[in-house]
Amino acid sequence: MSARYDELMAMKNLGQTYAYTDRDVMLYAYGIGLGADPMDEKELAFVNEATYTLRDLKVVPTFASVAAWGSGPGDMKLNRLLVVDGERDITFHKPLPVAANITADSSVLGVFDKGKDKGLVVRHQTVLKDQKGDKLATLVASRFARGDGGIGGPSEGQPEPHTVPKRAPDRSVDISTRSDQALIYRLCGDRNPLHSDPEFAQRAKFPRPILHGMCTYGITCRGVLQTYADYDAKAFRQHVARFSSPVYPGETVTMDLWKDGNVISFEAKVKSRDVTVIKNGKTVLG
């Protein structure tokens, strides 16, 4: 192994402090498309707290992905022009409150070197805790750094992805995205110009800015919410997805879903380009 590999594996950052309010919760829900129909009471429950009849504001489970935006093991010194999200796996220990002060403990779990011209994958974990020290969510992320391979780490050993059933989907749902959706979602924390600046996107080998992978991830959570969870955010125990291709703002995402007990498998496509954008998806409901 190399010194660079050892440096990455040793990275950790404990006790990071963050706070969020109901404004952040609603902005995230709106950023993944909830509330497009101003008369849909089930979706309004995630984006509107100002009601005549009092009710609790709901928190989209995958808000956990932005609740401590910026947390992580530290600066990995990767070529950000060539870094994309590979996978996200969130385990939900407790329902997220509408507003909270939280802490985040982050560490690197593994580094997998695909070769000098093939990039590397970094897997890292962040545990979110409330003020009492109780776990709220555990986030495991993988980053595919296309320009940073060749450091000498292992090439194999990543966890096997979830396998979706081979039968026809039990349900399919179309979810439209807005042409300005990336400009809204970036206000949740991810200001990477890949999602907002045409020149930056072109230099990164994309014809135009792409939708955040984590926005697509949130959209898949929304798809499960509206199909098998009856908009019950508290039912989510785990939500996993692999990013296989980007979505361009304005496209329609089609989710195929399979239900086996409390496990919902899913994949997502953009039919207009005949491309799969999410693979190996799994939600565990409780």
Q: Which residues are marked as active site? A: 190, 195
Query: What are the structure tokens assigned to 82, written together?
Result: 């060539």
Rg for the chain, CA atoms, rounded: 19
**How many other β-carbons are positioned within 10 Å of the β-carbon of residue 42?**
13
Distance, in Å, from the CA atom of 63 to the CA atom of 99, rounded to the nearest integer, reads 12
> One-letter amino acid identity for 169?
P
Alpha carbon separation from 264 to 59, 114, 171, 228, 261 (Å, rounded): 20, 31, 11, 8, 8
Q: Whose CA is closest to 111, among 16, 245, 10, 217?
A: 10
